[in-house]
Amino acid sequence: MREKLIAMATAARQAARIVSAAGAVLKNNALQNMADGIEKNTAEILAANTQDLEAAKIAGVSSVLLDRLMLNEKRIHEMAQGLREIAELPDPVGEVEHETARPNGLRIGRMRVPIGVIGMVYEARPNVTADAAGLCLKAGNSVILRGGSEAVHSNRMIGKFVSQGLQAAGLPEAAVQVVETTDRQVVAELLTLDGYIDCVIPRGGKKFLNWVARTASVPVIRHGDGNCHVYLDSPVDLSMAEEIAFNAKVQRPGVCNAMETLLVHQETASKVLPELFSRLSEAGVELRGCERARKIHPAVKAATAADWETEYLDLILAVRVVEDLDSAIKHIADYGSGHSEAIVTADYLHAERFLREVDAASVLVNASTRFTDGAQFGLGAEIGISTQKLHARGPMGVRELTTQKFIVRGRGQIRT
């Protein structure tokens, strides 16, 4: 197993030397080829996806997970369009920033360069295979993709057309490799390939990410793990509060920027919650609340301490009535995962304090947490949303998949 991965990583390293120097035209050709190949072979990809879906149904996975796993013609078309959009993004490689002349005549700048070989570990959504392949290639990296076992047939088939696209553009196929085994030990091995892999990007739940942190010796950029809050302050526009809270929970509950816990100022609770709880219940949301929330609506079950820590990724919502802004900020500091945190408020100073004091990848005022997303932020496609503090935080696009090196131009300077 380890030998096989080392062979893959060695091939990836050789390929990385080529794609890192390839220039935008070749890389964009490959991306267009991939998009065309995926679209032309929609039927074949759907057939592979059906195999995965049937196995998942037999295994009894939740409807939210089934939705993440499921492809259809529209989603496959979007996958191809995503690759075409990546082709149209500017190429950051080779760009030199902040070049300055020092008093001794040295010219010092920072050149943007690929990271090298990236390992990507993810679950469920097969479109990640195409997105990650496209983004890593555009940034001049090689990538080793290890999707979840539940999507193995879909990922293998997408990987096939990615390979063909690289080959047709004259780029090495080893620049994008899909690990086809479902053995979880593969992930552990990938995480310890120091010297072969420059970084691993894991996407998944909290437990999985904690295991990755303990296991990895290669650098990790932690993704996912979105225990997101919306705090309805006082004073507040009640209609705005209701709309944002409803949107953050219901518009797409299975994704990491959906709200998991609603915090409500005690003076706002009785004004906004009765109507909001009714709407949420009608939309199929299970409500779990503190004592004060339960008094407002009969549909609210009792929340336990575990609810404050849980990323449901489902139509379940925890609700807590809080004293004031400080209590809300403290709750978020205690339980938040550093993903997306929103306040709905009419108070200027409260908004500024929330923006400044809440420590998360994305802090929002009077907007739904659902906006934390590369495309919504204007960054183009994203490989995920980093919830760690180093290197990249929040939506990660092509630029965040590169690094910089200092370049120094002299004419014989020595240090005295």
In the complex, what is the shortest distance from the CB of residue 336 to a copy of itself, in angstroms, rounded to a whole number?
12
Asked if 408 is part of the footprint of a copy of itself (rule: CB under 8 A), the reply reads: yes
Residues 261 and 285: beta-carbon distance below 8 Å: no
Assigned token pair, 128: 């990640």
How far apart CA 15 and CA 9 sit, in angstroms, is 10
Residues 286 and 301: beta-carbon distance below 8 Å: yes
**Stretch of residues binding a copy of itself (CB under 8 A), selected from 33-41, 113-121, 176-184, 301-309:** 113-121
Asked if 136 is part of the footprint of a copy of itself (rule: CB under 8 A), the reply reads: no
Whole-angstrom CA distances from 20 to 131, 137, 208 are 18, 9, 31
Q: Which residues contact 259 (CB under 8 A, 6 or more apart)?
A: 228, 229, 230, 245, 248, 249, 317, 342, 369
Q: Which residue carries 């950029």 as its tokens?
A: 221
Whole-angstrom CA distances from 131 to 122, 221, 323, 370 are 12, 17, 43, 20
In the complex, what is the shortest distance from the CB of residue 356 to a copy of itself, in angstroms, rounded to a whole number?
7
The residue (of 61 and 351) whose beta carbon lies closer to a copy of itself is 351
Residues 15 and 114: beta-carbon distance below 8 Å: no
Asked if 330 is part of the footprint of a copy of itself (rule: CB under 8 A), the reply reads: no
Asked if 219 is part of the footprint of a copy of itself (rule: CB under 8 A), the reply reads: yes
How far apart CA 163 and CA 159 sit, in angstroms, is 6
In the complex, what is the shortest distance from the CB of residue 371 to a copy of itself, in angstroms, rounded to a whole number?
6
The residue (of 74 and 405) whose beta carbon lies closer to a copy of itself is 405
**Stretch of residues binding a copy of itself (CB under 8 A), selected from 3-11, 146-154, 165-173, 245-253:** 245-253
The residue (of 51 and 217) whose beta carbon lies closer to a copy of itself is 217
Query: How many residues in the chain?
Result: 416
Q: According to CB under 8 A, which one of 7, 59, 106, 283 is a site residue for a copy of itself?
A: 106
Asked if 254 is part of the footprint of a copy of itself (rule: CB under 8 A), the reply reads: no
The residue (of 58 and 406) whose beta carbon lies closer to a copy of itself is 406
Show contacts with a copy of itself in window 360-399 (CB under 8 A): 360-368, 370-372, 376-378, 388-391, 393-395
**DSSP β-bridge partners for residue 246:** none
Binding mask 177-206 for a copy of itself (x = CB under 8 A): ---------------x-x---xx-------
Asked if 14 is part of the footprint of a copy of itself (rule: CB under 8 A), the reply reads: no
The residue (of 35 and 248) whose beta carbon lies closer to a copy of itself is 248
Give every strand in the sheet of 223-224, ordered side by side.
176-178, 142-146, 117-121, 199-204, 223-224, 384-386, 394-396
In the complex, what is the shortest distance from the CB of residue 69 to a copy of itself, in angstroms, rounded to a whole number?
22
Asked if 115 is part of the footprint of a copy of itself (rule: CB under 8 A), the reply reads: yes
Task: Compute φ and ψ for 32, nearest 5 degrees.
Answer: -65, -45
The residue (of 129 and 362) whose beta carbon lies closer to a copy of itself is 362
Measured at the CA of 173, the angle between CA 169 and CA 176, to 5 degrees, comes to 110
How far apart CA 341 and CA 167 sit, in angstroms, is 43
The residue (of 74 and 214) whose beta carbon lies closer to a copy of itself is 214
Asked if 318 is part of the footprint of a copy of itself (rule: CB under 8 A), the reply reads: no
Residues 397 and 381: beta-carbon distance below 8 Å: yes
In the complex, what is the shortest distance from the CB of residue 312 to a copy of itself, in angstroms, rounded to a whole number?
18
Helix (H) or strand (E) segment spanning residue 264: strand 259-265
Show contacts with a copy of itself in window 25-54 (CB under 8 A): none
Q: According to CB under 8 A, which one of 61, 66, 108, 315 is a site residue for a copy of itself?
A: 108
In the complex, what is the shortest distance from the CB of residue 293 to a copy of itself, in angstroms, rounded to a whole number?
22
Residues 317 and 335: beta-carbon distance below 8 Å: no
Query: Binding residues for a copy of itself, how many (CB under 8 A)?
Result: 72
Q: Which residue carries 């906006």 as its tokens?
A: 371
The residue (of 74 and 411) whose beta carbon lies closer to a copy of itself is 411
Q: According to CB under 8 A, which one of 247, 268, 310, 345 is a site residue for a copy of itself?
A: 247
In the complex, what is the shortest distance from the CB of residue 277 to a copy of itself, in angstroms, rounded to a whole number?
18
Q: Which of 380, 349, 383, 355 is nearest to 367 (CA)?
A: 355
Assigned token pair, 344: 């709905």
Asked if 283 is part of the footprint of a copy of itself (rule: CB under 8 A), the reply reads: no
